[in-house]
A and B are shown apart, each in its own frame.
Chain A
Amino acid sequence: MEEKVYGVQCKTCGKETYPAHAVCPNCGGHDFEPLEITGEGKVLTYTDVYALPLDYALRYLRLAIVELDSGLRATGQLVDDDPKIGKRVRTTVGVVRETGGRKIYGLQFVPV
């Protein structure tokens, strides 16, 4: 069971990217190493989605873009009853969607 989320680091120039691309946006390189997306950061922005997408039976779904201390940003689910722009959070990995009986793991941000 894969319970980590990965971006990539370019083997040529060291640039970190999430999500992965086939070509490095910094140097044009094609060779990458997996880079685990983990750590602390702050909430850049968030929303509560009431018009729920397929596969969710909730009152609302709380999503955020987080800026990690490494400088990388990631979109994920925000597990926090008192969300604020700029609030410190850390990454965890959990089930973010269940579709056709299949569990999908992804980033869930929780307060530090």
Chain B
Amino acid sequence: MREVAIIGAGMTKFGRSDLSLIEIMSEAAIRALEDAALGDQKVDSVYVANMGAARLNRQTAIASALVDQLNLFPAMAEAVENGPASGASAFKNGFQAIASGMADVVLVTGGERMREVNNLEATDFVASMSHPQAEYIYGVTLPALAGMFTRLYMDRYGVTAKHLALVAIKNHANALKNPYAHIHQAITIEGILTAPEAVVNNPYIADPLRLYDCCPVSDGAAALVLTTREIAEKLGKPIVKVGGIGQATDTHAVHERPDPTELTAVKIAAQKAFQMAGIGPQDIDVAELHDAFTILEIAESEEAGFFPKGEGHNALEQGVTSLGGKLPINPSGGLKAKGHPVGATGVAQLVELTWQLRGAAGDRQVEGAKNAFACNFGGFGNNVVTTVLMREE
């Protein structure tokens, strides 16, 4: 298997966009391609990550449309749909294409334009991932699944509303240092939890989860250029190596899991990625976790092996996961504050980590970051892709 390196990274500002899906994906792709400065090298293959173009934007076959916009003919191209884990899935496909020798240069672009529809329609679009007969018909949404998960987690492990708020406060603070983030708003415990007006400013969405426990609905795109280690060295690029990728699945209906507080797919996917990379969770300097809901940052930090089960909220409270702590989590602001254009998210996590490993993350730089970890979480944990990136001197 050939070694694979990331040589280009770019994204759009997440938020509300007036551009079409193909236009925002083009913007991110052009930034990544300019960053890669390929010279005579041509893009052999394009992987597009997207979940909802057919339903939200009434457009299909978007990989062909993107190639057309970017004049990348006759590159191979296809779209990858794997729910909110589409981004890391497309990246995995790009990795495989290079590792196998099928392609030398790959463009991975993730994008979603969700604000084309209203919030009710966007929520229903995401809810359509749930089990049609055993969950969806009851009015189950992703916040509902997360709410039930959170209540059980609080009951069993002593996580409180304050811990959830601390995730949001940390990630909002990080996002203030990220010009690409959707939400630029400092928040406090008083404002979202303890002040009398908090019940109005931070209403329940699916209790015990409140508005500030949930990611926003965002438009946005992110892109990466991958190539072989040899070509990366020839182009004189800093080497951000793909150390390992892991993926695992779990039951469709959440209630079928032996212990519904365990995210088994996160655990297995993380173990696989670490095994492939030849390092462990203790070697990671910075992580981007899929905090679509605040509880998920805590739970994933445990399943990935950074903290024992039931202790992630203590590490959070002690500042371990803040910028400047021992293991900063979601320096980008995470899905919570950077935003969550579903198809773009897995790619955007890796764009952030590429910048972190290059030392190019500005005010949110994790000093000396050498090894990085990303968790891209699909469904309610029924399909998870994790990635380990490593900077090589």
Chain A contacts to B: CB under 8 angstroms: 17-19, 44-56, 60-61, 63-65, 73-77, 85, 96-97, 104, 106-107
Does A45 lie within 8 Å of B151, measured CB to CB?
yes
Does B155 lie within 8 Å of A97, measured CB to CB?
no
Does A19 lie within 8 Å of B152, measured CB to CB?
no
| Chain B residues positioned under 8 Å from A106 (CB to CB) | 137-138
| Chain A residues positioned under 8 Å from B317 (CB to CB) | none
Does B255 lie within 8 Å of A65, measured CB to CB?
yes
Does B123 lie within 8 Å of A50, measured CB to CB?
no
Give complex CA distance A89, B280 in Å.
44
- B207 at interface (Cβ–Cβ under 8 A)? yes
Does A52 lie within 8 Å of B139, measured CB to CB?
yes
Does A51 lie within 8 Å of B143, measured CB to CB?
yes
Task: List CB contacts (< 8 Å) of B138-165 with chain A.
Answer: 138-141, 143-144, 147-152, 155
- B78 at interface (Cβ–Cβ under 8 A)? no
Does A49 lie within 8 Å of B139, measured CB to CB?
yes
- B363 at interface (Cβ–Cβ under 8 A)? no
Which DSSP category, helix, strand, loop or mixed, fits chain B's interface?
A: helix
Does B138 lie within 8 Å of A50, measured CB to CB?
no
| Interface size in chain B (residues, C-beta < 8 A) | 37
Give complex CA distance A17, B206 in Å.
28
Does B139 lie within 8 Å of A61, measured CB to CB?
yes
| Chain A residues positioned under 8 Å from B252 (CB to CB) | 19
Does A44 lie within 8 Å of B138, measured CB to CB?
no
Known pairs A47-B208, A50-B203, A64-B148; list 10 more (Cβ under 8 Å). Answer: A45-B151, A47-B151, A49-B143, A49-B144, A53-B123, A63-B144, A65-B255, A74-B255, A75-B138, A75-B255
Does A65 lie within 8 Å of B134, measured CB to CB?
no
Chain B contacts to A: CB under 8 angstroms: 119-121, 123-124, 127, 131, 133-135, 137-141, 143-144, 147-152, 155, 203-209, 252-256, 260
Q: Which 9 A-B pairs have the closest CB atoms?
A: A47-B147, A19-B134, A73-B255, A45-B152, A45-B148, A65-B255, A51-B205, A54-B124, A49-B206
| Chain B residues positioned under 8 Å from A46 (CB to CB) | 148, 151
Give complex CA distance A58, B152 in Å.
25
Which residue on chain A has the smallest CB distance to residue B150? A47
Give complex CA distance A47, B203 in Å.
14
Selected A-B contacts with CB under 8 Å, 20 pairs:
A18-B253, A19-B131, A19-B133, A44-B255, A45-B152, A46-B151, A47-B207, A47-B208, A48-B204, A49-B141, A49-B143, A49-B206, A51-B123, A54-B121, A55-B139, A61-B144, A75-B140, A77-B138, A96-B137, A97-B137
Give complex CA distance A104, B136 in Å.
11
Give complex CA distance A54, B144 in Å.
14
